[in-house]
């Protein structure tokens, strides 16, 4: 009995992990209605840290996606955060690229960890020159 239970557990754990992984990726890839008629200019996949009061959600690569559009950007994980470029400030920190915003319905602090933070900063800089804070 103990051997068969160990075999069942050994089979179920990878299956459960795979199902959760697939569900998180599918949720990340879902588009909002506002995105359906827009052309994606660029997108980035990476990780993120989302601090909402006492609750912190940390997601590693590949569970966070940033999609850039002409007038707004979407940070997508199992939640969706939509920002107009004029509503945000971007700051490079030791924890990653911090997106500073005032939307109370979103996590208080948003940190992105992308393979190419500089490309994202350059894109936002071109759309909103006065809202970028980079270390010197």
Question: How high is the pLDDT of residue 21?
Answer: 87
125 domain residue, yes or no = yes
Q: Is residue 112 a part of any domain in this protein? A: yes
Mean pLDDT of the 2-13 span: 84
Domain hosting residue 78, numbered range: 31-133
Helix%, strand%, coil% for the chain, nearest 5: 35, 40, 25
The model's pTM is 0.82
Q: Confirm whether 2 is domain-assigned.
A: no
Residue 26 lies in a domain: no
62 found inside a domain? yes
> Pairing relation of β-strands 72-76 and 55-68?
antiparallel
In-domain check, residue 48: yes
- pLDDT tens-digit profile of 65-121? 999 998 899 999 999 999 998 888 888 888 889 999 999 999 999 999 988 788 888
pLDDT, the chain, mean: 86
Q: Is residue 6 part of a domain?
A: no
Q: Is the pLDDT of residue 122 over 90?
A: no
Residue 24 in any domain: the answer is no
**Percentage, residues of the chain above pLDDT 90:** 44
Strand 42-52, strand 96-100: pairing: unpaired
Q: How many domains, the chain? A: 1
pLDDT at residue 129 above 50? yes
CATH code for position 85: 2.30.29.30
Task: Note the pLDDT tens digit of each residue in 41-78.
Answer: 989 999 999 999 899 999 999 999 999 998 899 999 99
pLDDT of residue 51: 95
Residue 117, pLDDT score: 80
């Amino acid at each position: 009995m103990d051997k068969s239970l160990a075999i069942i557990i050994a089979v179920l754990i990878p299956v459960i992990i795979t199902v959760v992984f697939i569900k998180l990726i599918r949720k990340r890839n879902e588009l909002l209605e506002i995105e359906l008629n827009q052309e994606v200019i660029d997108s980035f996949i990476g990780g993120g840290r989302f601090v909402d009061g006492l609750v912190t959600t940390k997601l590693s690569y590949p569970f966070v996606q940033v999609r850039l559009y002409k007038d707004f950007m979407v940070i997508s994980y199992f939640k969706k955060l939509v920002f107009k470029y004029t509503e945000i400030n971007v700051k490079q920190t030791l924890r990653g690229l911090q997106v500073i915003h005032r939307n109370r319905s979103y996590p208080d602090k948003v940190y992105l960890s992308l393979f190419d933070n500089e490309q994202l900063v350059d894109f936002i800089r071109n759309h909103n020159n006065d809202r970028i804070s980079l270390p010197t």
